[in-house]
Amino acid sequence: MLNVQEFIDACRECGLNVTYQRILIYKSLVKTKTHPTAEEIYHEVKAEYPSISLATVYKTLETLAEHDLISKVTPLHDLARYDGDTEQHHHLVCLKCRKIIDIHEEALNNLKVPKETGFKIEGYRIQFEGLCRQCALEDDPNWEETSAKSNEDTTFCGK
Amino acid sequence: MLNVQEFIDACRECGLNVTYQRILIYKSLVKTKTHPTAEEIYHEVKAEYPSISLATVYKTLETLAEHDLISKVTPLHDLARYDGDTEQHHHLVCLKCRKIIDIHEEALNNLKVPKETGFKIEGYRIQFEGLCRQCALEDDPNWEETSAKSNEDTTFCGK
DNA sequence: CTTATTGCAAATAATTTGCACCAGC
DNA sequence: GCTGGTGCAAATTATTTGCAATAAG
């Protein structure tokens, strides 16, 4: 969550041109916690800058998300996918080939969450993101050796 | 993951008519681990039952998911949503009003995952699903009291 | 026989694309 | 000036809907 000057600098670092539209879109997004849609941002920005087009908003949001200046909440948004398995389990999603792999892991099925949110929680799903073995190898032919060196059988996984 | 006879019984229990199309769609879905799209299931079923229509596949999948006979992997599939906050955090999604609330909780940011999957994991996101306070109260005016009785400040959350 | 479900075609909704013009560096 | 970005309109893609015909219970 950067202020405007930091955002401008970050754009430059990423090699992105700094345009008025991008600044307005970024400002509109960071000032809210509502996780808006492209359409919502479009309406808000349009009030201040009427000539903006919805296509620009879409392109800008995708561009900023690619550069990690913002993030997309609905990641697998492309196509609805179904699963015949209704037991609690989680998914590994390959960011390259979009393959989805099941992960049945008891330890992940009893997360504790704070009650203070006021939410009545019915369940949760975890989506691990990364590269499947094939795609990881295409990317870097010896990542497996590198990762095998750390001789644990689990891996920590922060951001 | 039911066999055909169990599926038929389950449909009856849910008050769903048992149709040949439903059986074929269910069979096509449960025999694979690829988390197919409606389109993919359509093609597969069409080979055996050419008169089936894509609209039926969509309707059937949604119906079965509503009754928990299958599950939808891409839940918030409706609209792409963006977030200006790129710090690691997770989301609470209200299933009724679709509101999304951030949850910053250190304890959720260091999950361990088994390496044996061969996946090169870059991160993960957790989506808690349930009802926000307002919607929960509309649903059941005294759920807060009920839930307050269990005097912990966290709640276990399995399926 | 009554109601739920199907299948078609048409409608809708979200997102993407092509391209000419314009702006940042 | 070169390249990337914008804005428009049109195209594409996924999904939904209305409705008449049909099948399930």
Q: How confident is the model at residue A6 (pLDDT cuts 50, 70, 90)?
A: very high
B5 against B138, higher pLDDT? B5
Q: How confident is the model at residue B159 (pLDDT cuts 50, 70, 90)?
A: very low
Q: How confident is the model at residue B154 (pLDDT cuts 50, 70, 90)?
A: low
Alpha-carbon distances of B49 from B21, B40, B44, rounded to whole Å: 8, 14, 9
Residue A122, C-beta contacts closer than 8 angstroms, at least 6 positions apart: B95, B129, B130, B131
Q: What's the pTM value of the predicted model, to 2 decimals? A: 0.87
pLDDT at B7: 98
Q: Give mean pLDDT, residues B78-87.
A: 90
Would you say the C-beta of B41 is within 7 Å of strand C? no
The minimum CA-CA distance between A113 and chain B, rounded to whole Å, is 5
pLDDT at A140: 78
Alpha-carbon distances of B97 from B76, B129, B133, rounded to whole Å: 12, 12, 11
Q: How confident is the model at residue A141 (pLDDT cuts 50, 70, 90)?
A: confident
Q: Give mean pLDDT, residues A61-90.
A: 90
The pLDDT of residue A159 is above 50: no
pLDDT at B158: 46
Q: Give mean pLDDT, residues B83-96.
A: 91
Q: Give mean pLDDT, residues B12-40.
A: 97
Q: Which of A51-65, A139-153, B90-104 has the lowest mean pLDDT?
A: A139-153
Residues with CB under 7 A from strand D: A 16-17, 19, 21-22, 49, 51-53, 55-56, 59-60, 63, 78-80; B 11-12, 17-20, 37-39, 54-55, 58-59, 62, 77
The pLDDT of residue A4 is above 90: yes
Q: Give mean pLDDT, residues B97-114.
A: 86
Q: Do the Cβ atoms of A35 and B93 come closer than 8 Å?
A: no
Q: How confident is the model at residue B152 (pLDDT cuts 50, 70, 90)?
A: low
Q: What is the pLDDT of residues B30-46, one digit of tens each?
A: 999 999 999 999 999 99
Alpha-carbon distances of A47 from A25, A109, A123, rounded to whole Å: 12, 45, 39
Q: Give mean pLDDT, residues A136-152.
A: 71
What does pLDDT average to over chain A? Answer: 88
Indicate the Cα dihedral angle A23, A28, A29, A32, nearest 10°: 150
What does pLDDT average to over chain B? Answer: 88
Dmax of chain A from CA atoms?
57
Residue type, B103: I
Q: Give mean pLDDT, residues A53-65.
A: 97
Are the Cβ atoms of B154 and A30 closer than 8 angstroms?
Answer: no
Q: Which chain A residues have a beta carbon less than 8 Å from that of B67?
A: none
Q: Give mean pLDDT, residues A14-28.
A: 98
Architecture per CATH, B4-81: Orthogonal Bundle (1.10)
CATH class of A88-148: alpha beta
Domain coordinates of chain A in residue numbers? Answer: 4-81, 88-148
The pLDDT of residue A35 is above 80: yes
The pLDDT of residue A157 is above 60: no
Are the Cβ atoms of B124 and A122 closer than 8 angstroms?
Answer: no
Of B34, B84, B130, the CB nearest to A1: B84
In percent, the amount of chain A with pLDDT more than 90 equals 56
- Separation of A19 CA and D25 C1' (Å): 64
